[in-house]
Structure 1
């Protein structure tokens, strides 16, 4: 079993990087992934844009410096240059993936699709959401049964579930989670939209959760 997982790793890495490159294309043509079925998209990438482009800029500066140092070794220079350019593309692709793969609320289908770039994509049935609230957190400890999808080291929306959903990690490990924390550029709008969708499916309004619900 362990050997088969090891053999599967290169395939997973290649698929991951192909998705990142595909995200660059979607970003260039101003399209999003998974939003064509009538759902409402909620972005979450705004908080990390400056950091990611800063990182890409550092990679470019490093590439130029290394290129100068290796100018007398053409073969090595060309090989390193290709790797450096590819690294910059992957860094920008990580941000592009966050932009083109937003959270998606599909009230008609009764699901909230919570995502983070190409790494996480969890579909949560609305009837399984016990509560949703705006909650800003800047620190997260790994806890069984909880999934934290921090962007820029923070989450701003907390979903507590009445029943677990399955999260599949990058290397295929599956685990059940009953609390999901994610980030949204407009967390209040996401919370309101989820509440309205839940009310619409239930047919009656949910009880008032008190003033903390709009914090």
Structure 2
């Protein structure tokens, strides 16, 4: 009597992986991926290392407007954790809340670490990489940039806001400070996977003049 083919288990394994991927929503997969990248950024932050910055690149930080707010949020979360530890008398419930609160503290710290270790990058060839932590990453080729200028604005909206006329605002701390006009539409990907196009990009840099100067004078 012949047994099952030797490669039956191996052929079934990829099918099982594909079925599992199909069963999990894309948004959930991307959310998990973002969190894993954020947690990996904690090690880079402690080691004073950056992601995607090569010799000759200009790294442009953008966390200035949000740093105080995030540290304030962390302080509130720690106080809440201590308060609940004193108020909740049931050990199991106390343990659940403690784990959730500690996870929240670590996650917020990791999100900030991802922003610190993943700055905007100006390449020597004049291209620009615009980022926000592990949530947003867009490379703008040099030949797609029509003009760039320091332009401080205080738009309303969420982190990524796209207007009907194709203006993309990447808002940090309720502000942007650099405007890039494009000579052709560029496609970008939202954190949960949706693709859209922009004709103008506005984003924040802590030192916008240095970033704009580097883009205007590529090596």
| TM, length-normalised to structure 2 | 0.83
* RMSD (CA atoms): 1.8
- In the alignment, the residues of structure 1 paired with residue 196 and residue 36 of structure 2 have an alpha-carbon distance, to the nearest angstrom, of 25
Indicate whether 1:151 and 2:172 are aligned.
yes
Distance 1:98 1:128 in 2: 25
Task: Give the 3-state SS of the residue equivalent to 2:217 in structure 1.
Answer: helix
Task: Report the CA distance between 1:29 and its aligned residue.
Answer: 0.5
Say whether 1:134 aligns with 2:154. Answer: no
Instruction: Say if 2:75 is the partner of 1:54.
Output: no
Q: In the TM superposition, what is the alpha-carbon distance from 1:137 to its structure 2 partner?
A: 0.6
Rg larger in structure: 2
Match of 1:86 among 86, 89, 103: 103
Taking the aligned partners of 2:26 and 2:193, their CA distance within structure 1 comes to 10
Structure 1: gaps of 5 or more residues: 201-215
Which of these residues, 184, 200, 212, is aligned with residue 179 of structure 1? Answer: 200
Which of 12, 24, 31 is the aligned partner of 1:13?
31
Number of residue-to-residue matches in the alignment: 194
Q: Where does residue 189 of structure 1 map in the other structure?
A: 210
Deviation at 1:6, TM superposition (A): 6.1
Normalised by the size of structure 1, how large is the TM-score? 0.85
Equivalent in 45, 62, 68 of residue 44 of structure 1:
62
- The question of whether the paired residues in 1 share the 8 Å contact of 2:60 and 2:206 is answered with yes
Could you say what secondary structure the match of 2:192 adopts?
coil
Tell me the distance in 2 between the aligned counterparts of 1:36 and 1:154.
28
CA distance in 2, matches of 1:8, 1:130: 34
**Which residue matches 1:106?**
123
Residues 92-132 of structure 1 show CA distances to partners (whole Å, capped at 9, x for unaligned) of 11211111010001123x42001111111000011111110
For 1:51 and 1:155, locate their aligned partners in 2 and report how far apart those are by CA, in whole Å.
Answer: 17
Q: Which residue of 2 aligns with 1:69?
A: 87
Q: 2 CA distance for matches of 1:122 and 1:5?
A: 28
Whole-angstrom distance in 1 between the partners of 2:42 and 2:185? 33
In structure 1, the partner of 2:136 is 120
Q: Give the CA deviation at 1:10.
A: 2.5
Offset, 1:7: 2.1
Shift of 1:37: 5.3
